[in-house]
Amino acid sequence: MLLSSRQTEILAIAKEQGRVLVEELAQRFSVTPQTIRKDLNDLCDARVLNRIHGGAVLPAGKENVKYEARRSMAAAEKQAIGRAAAALIPDNASLFINIGTTTEAVGEALTDHRELMVITNNINVANRLRIFPSIEVVIAGGVVRGADGGIVGEAAVDFIRQFKVDFAVIGVSAIDQDGALLDFDFREVKVAQAIIANARHVILVSDSSKFERTAPVRIGHISQVHTFITDHCPIARLRTICQERDVRLIETAPVADRSGVVAD
């Protein structure tokens, strides 16, 4: 397929941000939504994008969206999720925080807590929390990824295994409808698995865009977490899994159904 200049730019935006929306593209290019829908249909027919309601996303692949772009995506939702997670963590607790923009939002929401021990492989979290005298920050050693400041590798795994903490706050790149938790970097996955194995209460934090994505490496299953915090969970199968596996589901922005009843 020969792409037009506008379609080429739409694809570049999708690669940068992970998704594109019809209304935003129509405003950006000063064309009608119908024109953009035709562009997206062409790109989806060529299998370079997949349609979602109101736009399109990158198809399943091996590359993650750039870190700075992820920070700006669903920023308000991540802040609300961060506050909800922080509310579950009492003062005088020990916890892991792993790599991710949503876990960084949790770290930001913990700044008024007292007497915390925070163990992290996320340089951004460590740098934010280190200035608070009531929070002790312990940072893992290992290979630092230049793209996002995450510390990965076997040294980080061995470091994490030295601890047994009260809470773990973990993020993922994608959540499959069968409950699989997925990521892109197998080195990061090994650290996340060690964090899950060495925490008494695991809190998964993820905004709803992760239901529209996929990634090639399996971290584990949602049944391995104790609490799942998202802005809203539109997938009935996942809601059922949480109920059956005794995973507490917290939605910071639940969506009302057609009868006006808000999903619990």
Indicate which CATH number applies to the domain containing 162.
3.40.50.1360
> What is the pTM (predicted TM-score) of this model?
0.74
3 state SS of 129? helix
- Residue 95 lies inside a defined structural domain of this protein: yes
| Tens of each residue's pLDDT in the chain, 264 residues | 567 889 888 988 887 777 899 999 999 999 999 999 999 998 888 777 888 888 988 775 544 555 555 555 678 899 999 999 999 999 999 999 999 899 999 999 999 999 999 999 999 999 999 999 999 999 999 888 877 788 988 999 999 999 999 999 999 999 999 999 999 888 889 999 999 999 999 999 999 988 978 888 999 999 999 999 999 999 999 999 999 999 999 999 876 543 344 554
Boundary (domain end) residue, out of 21, 37, 59:
59
Asked if residue 213 and residue 109 are part of one domain, the reply reads yes
Number of domains making up the chain:
2
Asked if residue 230 and residue 178 are part of one domain, the reply reads yes
Give the strand order in the sheet containing 94-97.
135-139, 116-120, 94-97, 165-170, 199-205, 227-230, 248-251
In this structure, are residues 226 and 216 in contact, taking their beta carbons and an 8 Å threshold?
no
Distances (CA, A) of 183 to 58, 135, 172, 202, 215: 15, 29, 6, 17, 5
Asked if residue 211 and residue 174 are part of one domain, the reply reads yes
Boundary (domain end) residue, out of 38, 59, 80:
59
Asked if residue 92 and residue 43 are part of one domain, the reply reads no
H or E element at residue 193: helix 186-197
Closest to 73 measured CA to CA, from 228, 217, 209: 209
Indicate which CATH number applies to the domain containing 20.
1.10.10.10
- Structural domain of 23: 5-59
